[in-house]
Each structure stands twice: as structure tokens, then as C-alpha cells.
Amino acid sequence: MHELYKEYNQSLTPHLTEFVIKEKGVERVIHTNNVLYIEASTIYAVLHQNSGKDLYRAALHLLEQQLPSNFIRVHRSYIVNTSFVKKVKYLNNSTFMITMENDDVILSSRTYKDSISKKLQGL
């Protein structure tokens, strides 16, 4: 019954709201609003949170389509949660230096300059 409700609820919510991490037969749930940024690592996505990191088996380009609008792709290997962006600095070469709430620094790539400009300039 619980699984049926979960599927129904996900069909109502167009965006991914949680990640289910399976480790050694145990399932843990990480809510998307607790993820600072996501980093690509071979066949995994590394979910960076204030409490640490978790591996989630998924391709970044698929996650990008499923995440809520507060997530933005800034690099081939990174998607950031704009809710946790502390500072954005333009580096004059069509790239940005993005400082996250936990002081991790992510450099954007030129490809994403326009979307970053629109979404992050006010931060």
C-alpha cells in the first residue's frame, strides 16, 4: 500500500523530491532540498550535503531533467542547488566561480554562461 501511495504521489509531483540510497540492503532517503550540489563521477552522481556525500546511481543529464527549478547545471560535471549558493563571482572569461554554503567552490564552464547569468546573477 505504501509503495502504491508513493508512486501516486510521484506522478503528481513532476520533479524528483528525494533520492533513495540503497546500501548493504538498507534504504535511506535524502530529500532534494538537502542536497547542496551534485557532481558526476563515472556512472554515479555524488550528492553533496552538509552532512557528507552519498553515491546515487544515475547519469547527470537524466537527473538534470528531473530536478526542481532551484537546481541549475553549471558544468558538464556539476549541478548546483541555488538555495545553497553563498556567492557568485564572474571571472571575465565566460565562467563563474560559485561558492557554496559549505565553502566548496565550483567553477562553471563557458557552455552554461547564459543560464547561470539569468539565474544566479542576483546572488
Per-residue pLDDT 10s for the chain (123 aa) are 555 555 555 554 568 899 999 888 889 999 999 999 999 998 899 999 999 999 999 999 999 999 999 999 999 999 999 999 999 999 989 999 999 999 999 999 999 999 898 887 655
Residue 109, domain extent: 2-120
Q: Going by C-beta distance under 8 Å and a sequence separation of 6 or more, which residues neighbour residue 33?
A: 81, 83
pLDDT at 25: 86
Helices (H), 13-77: 60-66
> What CATH code is carried by the domain that includes residue 99?
2.40.50.1020
pLDDT at 57: 92
**CA–CA dist 67, 43 (Å, integer):** 18
User: What is the number of domains present in the chain?
Assistant: 1
Side-chain-side CA neighbours of residue 82 (13 Å): 17
Cα of first residue to Cα of last residue in the chain, in angstroms, is: 43
